Chains A and B, each alone.
Chain A
């Protein structure tokens, strides 16, 4: 110990000197603290209503009005069962799943193929085609509602699920192409050439080499499209008026509006939770996929 002491005191004496030029870390700490507080407040603003909806979905309407913030008196599935059967949320959910899944699969296939060919095979007019698709992005959907109505009516797809699917595909297509285009463009040409030498044709190169490499982008746009189409309200309300074919968003709206002032809020909140859960599930699942493929990246 006696031997160890002198160097220790020496280094102790030095330590404050070394710490002198460190206002930057202290400033960093302040920034970190402030941003954590801001983020925490933000999170609370986002999460609290969801929690409140979730808790309320287990209460009766009376309970909700009497003590909005209290925990439910007893946990029962009554609201959920009621929402699922009496209010046809089950059927709307099925419709939503059919429409959104089909539209998503189709738009991802068409969109990635279009983005791939535009990004990697320059042909005369490819720029025009690309900007034409982009122009679709800027076009407000409200202006297209009435023409769309008549188009679907003329081809006999009005008020049918296939009609809604086709509309969703057209609606999501421009952004999908716009989003995937840079991903395909950034993929190294060398790998396409390696595949060509390995004997892969254009389709195989696309499906087995390029699409897996563009996976971060594809997963991201798939999530985005899923959320957008799942919550789509304007298109179904105008083009899908047959009650049997209602999607969830329409069902929810009907639920809230038809009962006037006698809404069963407990059931309504249960229906909201049922609507949110698939979206959350898809998001959480693909989030992991997204991170996995992002870290995989391409090789230098």
Chain B
């Protein structure tokens, strides 16, 4: 068990003008489950591979516990990794796959057998220990890959999109299993995924990356309720948060005649308009024609709820009526009385559930 520290860790591929991971700073507590999430090409896998020692570090340091591992080879770092395609040795039995690291480390056979059997028991793999990986289902292979990491009892688990090759149902099950297994074993874990639902459900903390730069690192709850910038706001949450530019008015921001209160001191440097974010579930149907006018394109009925997919007018300045174009808009409404397709409805955000961002820098304004 150990903490993991990224200290200004940077990776720049030769011939690439921009670093793939740019001055990454994260401190991961002992036993913590940290999820690295972001769109493809954001540098999350590269960060993980830097920690594993599979990728060179061009600047900064990486520490495991108090040990500076920046220039250590992978085998000296005491980390175990679960790969996206599992990377099982096809010619070895399940037991040999799981025990390979211990065999190399010179652990005696009886001890290897014992630890492999323990891990197999945890993962329900006992009947398959003598099989070759090709004779296993996708889910079983995934568990063997987990087992291979577990038997080593390393200081850190590294997981690189381990669920992306499973079907949807199995992915949800395995998600919970991995999370609970990690809690039970208490091993510090860094988990990479592009799926924000995985990130939210599994991690103690979630780190969102974009273009090699860390956007925010927070607990899932905090990430959801207080996204640090427009990118995080739009990335976390499904369906995504509605984002639109709105004009600043006296005492708040103006939503087509409906004023959303924002503290004056927060808006002093914001300029004439700001970006407003509202989650689909934080919207109510307006009783009159104040609020955001939305033309309904599609209604998705999910039983208890219904999601409305529509387009909203984005009015920047009330006075001139300048129109910045339509933006897609999603709202959750009562499933029993959903609006009709093509209908024009007016939506108001619930008080206290709006996110305001600086329109230029994209940074969050206020709390």
Residues of A within 8 A of B101 (CB): 197-199
Task: Report how far A196 CA is from B83 CA in the complex, Å.
Answer: 13
Q: A188-B85, A299-B141 are in contact. Are A196 and B75 (CB under 8 A)?
A: yes
Contact B86 A299 (CB under 8 A): yes
User: Main secondary structure on chain A at its contact with chain B?
Assistant: helix
Contacting pair B52 A197 (CB below 8 A): yes
Write out the residue numbers on chain A whose beta carbons fall within 8 Å of the beta carbon of B83: 190, 193-194
Q: Chain B contacts of A197 at CB under 8 A?
A: 52-54, 74-75, 79-81, 101
Indicate whether A209 sits within 8 Å of B80 (C-beta atoms), given known contacts A297-B134, A299-B141. no
Q: Report if B271 contacts A (CB, 8 A).
A: no
Whether A193 pairs with B87 at a CB distance below 8 angstroms is yes
* Across-interface contacts of A191 in B (CB, < 8 A): 87-89
1/0 per residue B101-122: CB within 8 Å of A?
Answer: 1001100000000000000000
A residues in contact with B337, CB < 8 Å: none
A300 within 8 A of B: yes
B346 CB to nearest A CB, Å: 52
Q: Which of A199, A209, A215 has the most CB of B within 10 A?
A: A199
Decide if A213 touches B104 in the complex (CB within 8 Å): no
Per-position binary interface string of chain A over residues 173-209, scored 1 when its CB falls under 8 Å from any chain B CB and 0 otherwise = 0000000000000001011011111111100100001
| Neighbour of B100 across the interface among A198, A212, A300, CB < 8 A | A198
Which of A196, A200, A215 touches B91 (beta carbons < 8 Å)?
A215
State whether A194 touches B87 (Cβ < 8 A). yes
Residue numbers in A under 8 Å from B141 (CB-CB): 299
**Does B133 sit within 8 A of A, measured CB to CB?**
yes
| A188 CB contacts on chain B under 8 angstroms | 85, 87
Provide the residues of chain A in CB contact with B73, threshold 8 Å.
196
Q: Once the chains bind, are B134 and A296 in contact (CB under 8 Å)?
A: yes
Q: Which of A231-279 contact B (CB under 8 A)?
A: none
Contact of B104 with A199 in the complex, beta carbons under 8 Å = yes
Give complex CA distance A201, B87 in Å.
Answer: 17
Asked if B41 is at the interface (CB within 8 A of a chain A CB), the reply is no
Residue A298 interfacial (CB < 8 Å): yes
The number of chain A residues touching the other chain, given as a range, is 20 to 34
Cβ contacts under 8 Å, B80 to chain A = 197
Are A190 and B85 also in contact (CB < 8 A) when A204-B104, A296-B134 are? yes
**Is B90 an interface residue when CB atoms closer than 8 A count as contact?**
yes
When distances are taken between beta carbons in the complex, the residues of chain A under 8 Å from B23 are: none
Within 8 Å of chain A (Cβ to Cβ): is B175? Answer: no
Question: How far is it, in angstroms, between the C-alpha of A68 and the C-alpha of B95 when the chains are bound?
Answer: 60
List, in ascending order, chain B residues with CB within 8 A of A300's CB: 85
Rounded to whole angstroms, the CA-CA distance of A297 and B85 in the bound complex is 15
B183 at the interface (CB under 8 A from A): no
- Residue B171 interfacial (CB < 8 Å): no
Q: Is the CB of A298 within 8 A of B90?
A: yes
Interface residue B258 (Cβ < 8 Å from any Cβ of A) = no
Distance in angstroms between the alpha carbons of A191 and B132 in the assembled complex: 15
**Which of A194, A215, A297 has the most B CB atoms < 10 Å from its CB?**
A194
Q: Are B133 and A299 in contact (CB under 8 A)?
A: yes
Residues from chain A with a CB closer than 8 A to the CB of B89 are 191, 194-195, 209, 212-213
Chain A, residue nearest B145 (CB): A194
CB distance from A74 to the nearest CB of B (A): 51
Minimum C-beta distance from B71 to chain A (A): 15
Residue of B nearest to A211 (CB): B91
Report the minimum CB–CB distance from A23 to chain B (whole Å). Answer: 40
In the bound complex, how far is the Cα of B191 from the Cα of A235, in angstroms?
60
Residue among A188, A193, A198, A199 having the largest count of chain B Cβ atoms under 10 Å: A198
* Known contacts A188-B85, A196-B74; is-contact A297 B100 (Cβ 8 Å): no
A299 touching B104 by the CB < 8 A rule?
no
| Proximity string of chain B (193-217) to chain A, C-beta cutoff 8 Å, 1 when within and 0 when not | 0000000000000000000000000
Complex CA gap A299/B137 in Å reads 11
Interfacial chain A residues near B81, Cβ < 8 Å: 193-194, 197
> Closest residue of chain A to B104, judged by CB?
A199
Complex Cα gap A212–B93 (Å): 13
B85 to chain A: closest residue by CB: A190
Cβ of B164 to closest chain A Cβ, rounded Å:
13
Contact status B54-A196, CB under 8 Å: yes
Q: How far is the CA of A171 from the CA of B51 in the complex (A)?
A: 46
Most chain A CB within a 10 A radius of its CB, from B85, B90, B133, B141: B90
Given contacts A197-B80, A200-B104, A299 and B90 within 8 Å (CB-CB)? yes
Contact residues, B16-67 vs A (CB, 8 A) = 52-54
Please, which residues of chain B bring their CB within 8 A of the CB of A199? 75, 101, 104-105
In whole angstroms, how far apart are the Cα atoms of A297 and B91 in the complex? 9
In whole Å, how far is B234's beta carbon from the nearest beta carbon of chain A? 32
CB contact under 8 A between A299 and B85, given known A197-B75, A197-B80, A213-B90: yes
By a CB distance below 8 angstroms, the chain B residues around A213 are 89-91
Q: Mark A12-29, 1 if CB is under 8 A from B, else 0.
A: 000000000000000000
Also in contact, A190 and B90, with CB within 8 A (given A197-B79, A197-B81): no
State how many angstroms separate the Cβ of A193 from the closest Cβ of chain B.
5
A299/B75 contact (C-beta < 8 A), A193-B87, A204-B104, A212-B91 known: no
Interface residues of A (CB under 8 A from B): 188, 190-191, 193-201, 204, 209, 212-213, 215, 296-300
10 A–B contact pairs at CB < 8 A? A191-B88, A194-B83, A194-B87, A196-B75, A197-B80, A201-B75, A209-B89, A296-B91, A299-B85, A299-B141
A-B pairs, 7 with minimum CB distance? A198-B101, A194-B87, A199-B75, A212-B91, A190-B87, A199-B104, A191-B87
Chain B residues proximal to chain A, CB less than 8 Å? 52-54, 73-75, 79-81, 83-91, 100-101, 104-105, 132-134, 141, 148, 152
Q: Taking A199-B105, A299-B134 as given, write out 20 further A-B residue pairs in contact, using a Cβ cutoff of 8 Å, ordered by the A residue number.
A: A190-B84, A191-B88, A194-B83, A194-B88, A194-B89, A195-B89, A196-B75, A197-B74, A197-B79, A198-B104, A198-B152, A199-B101, A199-B104, A209-B89, A213-B89, A213-B90, A296-B90, A296-B132, A298-B90, A299-B141
